[in-house]
Structure 1
Amino acid sequence: MESQWLFNLLLVLQFVMLLVLVTWAFRMSKRIKQLKVQQMEAGVDHKKQVQVLASGSIGMGRRLVAIEKKLNLAVEKQSEILSKEGSVSYNRAMELLEMGATIDDLVSKCGLIRAEAELISLLKKESRKNSDYH
């Protein structure tokens, strides 16, 4: 009798354990499905973000190319203007420096800004030093 009772108790315990395991497995399965859905949603969100960033980068790249073209044109025009107008005033400034003109003379007579006149004066002095050594 006692062994029958012990056997029934073990049987009930096994059944309870089986129910606990089935319940736990069911919950884990449900949690795994939730995580998969969340992962898929996150993947879709990341894909959308990448697409937005990519289209933004493309737009920015196009703008940069347009700005670079404008900048190159501006630099070319500036170089043309300086070569046409600047060389005459720079040549005139060099001639005046050879005749003993001051920086203020260069500013007033050649239309240079003070920094340009000082730079030309320094360059002229350096070229004199170099020619004196050779």
Structure 2
Amino acid sequence: MESQWLFNLLLMLQFVILIVVSAWAFRLSKRLKRLKLQQDEVALNQKKQVQVLASGSIGMGRRLVTIEKKLNLAVEKQSEILSKEGGVSYNRAMELLEMGATIDDLVSKCGLIRAEAELINLLKQESRRNSDYH
């Protein structure tokens, strides 16, 4: 009788453990589903953010290409203007200054106005001072 009672007690204990483990597994399963949904939502948000960043980067890239084309065009136009307006005369003026020319020489030989000749002379003097310090 005692063994029957012990057997019933163990059987009951197993049944209670089975119910507790089942309830725990059910709660764990619900929690895992909830975490999976949260993970899917986070992944979707990250995917959307990457798409937004990628489209923004593409737009910026296109703008940069457009700006680069405009800059190259402006540089070309500037070079054309300098060559048409005697940009070489500035180089010639610097060479003449190296050889000891005066401001009046620059005006007469390079076709510069007096203010330009004085500015080039000042730049040359400043350049000499800087090279003397180094």
- TM-score normalized by the length of structure 2: 0.73
In 1, the alpha carbon distance for the partners of 2:51 and 2:20 equals 46
Sequence identity of aligned pairs in percent?
58
Say if 1:120 and 1:77 are closer, same or farther in 2 by CA, change over 3 A. farther
Residue deviations 1:35-57, cap 9 Å, x none?
11111111111111111011100
**Residue in 2 that maps onto 1:59:** 59
Alignment length (residue pairs): 121
Does residue 47 in structure 1 map to residue 47 in structure 2? Answer: yes
Does residue 77 in structure 1 map to residue 103 in structure 2? Answer: no
- TM-score normalized by the length of structure 1: 0.73
**Residue in 1 that maps onto 2:87:** 86
Q: Which amino acid aligns with 2:34?
A: Q
In 1, the alpha carbon distance for the partners of 2:118 and 2:50 equals 51
In 2, the alpha carbon distance for the partners of 1:113 and 1:54 equals 53
**Residue in 2 that maps onto 1:14:** 14
In 1, the alpha carbon distance for the partners of 2:54 and 2:124 equals 49
Structure 2 unmatched runs, 5+? 129-134
**Residue in 1 that maps onto 2:38:** 38
Residue deviations 1:59-91, cap 9 Å, x none?
000110011011111111222222232112432
Computed over aligned residues only, the root mean square deviation of the Cα atoms, in angstroms, reads 2.9
